[in-house]
């Protein structure tokens, strides 16, 4: 059935998307010499345009990856922020330019329902069998029995703290402790701060919260009112934003405790600080960066290359490299297998140590970060109220 086109290019979503696609194609054509499409057109082997969070880039090591897998990835940073990523898929030209996406988990089901991503064929990804079961169970990876996401990088976040000031910390209660007024911080992002607070309220204060990663309207109200009260009481020194700011807060002793990413602890220690990462009784906030098959790859016939690429991501080399350079975990035993088989490249004991460390976190309670909870626009509205409180 052919869709009737209207004369006004802005009069329908479909035609607007078409116009944006044309604009995207025009831009791509202009930059053919330097953009991925140009390189892809020239490549003889299988090539995949990988559009993912910058920290998933292994730079010059992609060459080695290509030698091992027969797939040459062309990496493009997607900025990590799921809002613009979704917008570019829904109304922009992302599906014309890229084959595989690497997104923070949560939006997969929406993207699949809207037809922007396609299902993976697991029979073409033999290395998927080696993925740890709890990673396979991430709640955003399947829709109607189809696999729409592959867990590629996982970890779990909690609290960064100074034991010299606070002793041993094992609860998010430290963040809301009035004795630490003005000496704590949270991230300036509801995606993380709302779930941490919900976990605390659910586990430590027995509040009626079902899933901290996907709060109902009333649960969200409860969580945000709690945060607003503490903000107006002057509890938080600041809400931090980005890697450098997070490190600076710790390194310059602006705070004694803050919710945040584990690599900040390592950076703090490098700078000679006594910093620890808590194992909270309320659990960790698990997060996954999952690879998705963009619909454009299926349309262009590059789906097989995309499958081979993802199989390569789970093959061991990529996991070893990402672990060595960023401390990130590809949830698979293949990393250790690869390190043992290539002792000249990676130290097996370090790969094993990282694997055990991450697995230990997931052995306990974990609530998954969700970039697109059901009430996501309400989250933003509450976050505004928090800002303005």
Binding site for other proteins (CB under 8 A): 10-13, 16-17, 81-84, 86-87, 89-91, 110, 114, 182, 185, 188, 231, 236-239, 241, 244-245, 248, 252-254, 376-377, 379-389
Cα distance between residue 13 and residue 153, in whole Å: 34
Structure tokens at 181: 């007024």
Q: How far is the CB of 388 from other proteins (least distance, A)?
A: 4
Cβ distance to other proteins smaller for residue 5 or 325:
5
Q: How far is the CB of 114 from other proteins (least distance, A)?
A: 7
Q: How far is the CB of 342 from other proteins (least distance, A)?
A: 39
Contact 367, 351 (CB under 8 A): no
Identify the CA nearest to 140 among candidates 100, 121, 98, 112. Answer: 112
Cα distance between residue 90 and residue 98, in whole Å: 14
Q: Which DSSP state fits 71?
A: E
Cβ distance to other proteins smaller for residue 201 or 258:
258
Q: How far is the CB of 12 from other proteins (least distance, A)?
A: 8
Cβ distance to other proteins smaller for residue 173 or 182:
182
Cβ distance to other proteins smaller for residue 334 or 372:
372
Q: CA–CA distance from 122 to each of 66, 70, 142, 236, 310 (Å)?
A: 21, 19, 12, 46, 10
Cβ neighbourhood burial of 104 (10 Å; 0-12, 13-18, 19+): buried
Cβ distance to other proteins smaller for residue 134 or 243:
243
Cβ distance to other proteins smaller for residue 176 or 284:
176
DSSP code per residue over 179-215: GGTTSEEEES-HHHHHHHHHHHHHHTS----S-TTS-
Longest dimension (CA), the chain: 70
Q: How far is the CB of 9 from other proteins (least distance, A)?
A: 12
Q: How far is the CB of 387 from other proteins (least distance, A)?
A: 4
Cβ distance to other proteins smaller for residue 87 or 360:
87
Q: How far is the CB of 14 from other proteins (least distance, A)?
A: 9
Q: How far is the CB of 217 from other proteins (least distance, A)?
A: 14
Q: How far is the CB of 285 from other proteins (least distance, A)?
A: 18
Q: How far is the CB of 117 from other proteins (least distance, A)?
A: 13
Q: Which DSSP state fits 374?
A: T
SS3 291: strand
Cβ distance to other proteins smaller for residue 219 or 321:
219
Cα distance between residue 306 and residue 191, in whole Å: 29
Cβ distance to other proteins smaller for residue 127 or 248:
248
Residue 160, C-beta contacts closer than 8 angstroms, at least 6 positions apart: 250, 257, 258, 259, 260, 262, 264, 265, 268, 275, 276, 277, 278
Cα distance between residue 30 and residue 81, in whole Å: 27
Cβ distance to other proteins smaller for residue 36 or 371:
371
Identify the CA nearest to 172 among candidates 357, 327, 365. Answer: 365
Q: Which residue has the tokens 């949830």?
A: 331
Structure tokens at 48: 């995949």
């Amino acid at each position: 059935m052919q869709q009737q086109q209207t004369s006004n290019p802005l009069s329908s979503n479909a035609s607007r998307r078409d116009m944006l696609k044309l604009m995207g194609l025009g831009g791509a054509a202009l930059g053919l010499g330097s953009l991925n499409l140009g390189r892809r057109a020239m490549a003889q082997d299988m090539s995949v345009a990988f559009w993912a969070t910058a920290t998933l880039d292994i730079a010059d090591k992609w060459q080695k990856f290509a030698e091992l897998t027969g797939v040459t990835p062309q990496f493009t940073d997607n900025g990590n922020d799921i809002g613009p990523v979704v917008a570019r898929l829904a109304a922009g030209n992302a599906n014309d330019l890229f084959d595989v996406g690497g997104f923070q988990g949560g939006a997969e089901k929406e993207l699949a329902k809207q037809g922007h991503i396609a299902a993976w064929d697991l029979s073409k990804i033999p290395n998927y069998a080696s993925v740890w079961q709890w990673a396979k169970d991430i709640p955003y990876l399947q829709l109607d029995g189809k696999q729409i996401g592959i867990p590629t990088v996982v970890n779990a976040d909690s609290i960064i703290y100074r034991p010299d000031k606070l002793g041993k910390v094992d609860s998010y209660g430290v963040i809301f402790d009035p004795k630490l007024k003005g000496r704590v911080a949270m991230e300036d992002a509801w995606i993380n701060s709302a779930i941490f607070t919900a976990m605390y309220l659910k586990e430590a204060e027995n509040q009626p919260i079902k899933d901290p990663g996907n709060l109902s309207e009333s649960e969200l109200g409860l969580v945000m009112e709690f945060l607003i009260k503490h903000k107006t009481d002057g509890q938080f020194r600041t809400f931090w934003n980005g890697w450098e700011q997070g490190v600076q807060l710790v390194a310059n002793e602006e705070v004694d405790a803050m919710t945040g990413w584990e690599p900040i602890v390592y950076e703090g220690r490098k700078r000679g600080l006594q910093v620890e990462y808590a194992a909270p009784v309320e659990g960790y906030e698990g997060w996954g960066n999952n690879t998705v098959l963009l619909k454009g790859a299926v349309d262009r016939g590059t789906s097989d290359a995309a499958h081979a690429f993802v199989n390569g991501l789970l093959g061991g080399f990529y996991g070893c490299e990402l672990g060595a350079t960023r401390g990130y975990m590809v949830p698979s035993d293949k990393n250790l297998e690869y390190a043992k088989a290539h002792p000249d490249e990676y130290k097996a004991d370090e790969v094993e140590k990282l694997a055990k460390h991450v697995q230990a976190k997931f052995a306990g309670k974990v609530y998954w970060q969700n970039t697109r909870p059901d009430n996501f626009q309400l989250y933003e509205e509450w976050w505004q109220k928090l800002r303005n409180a």
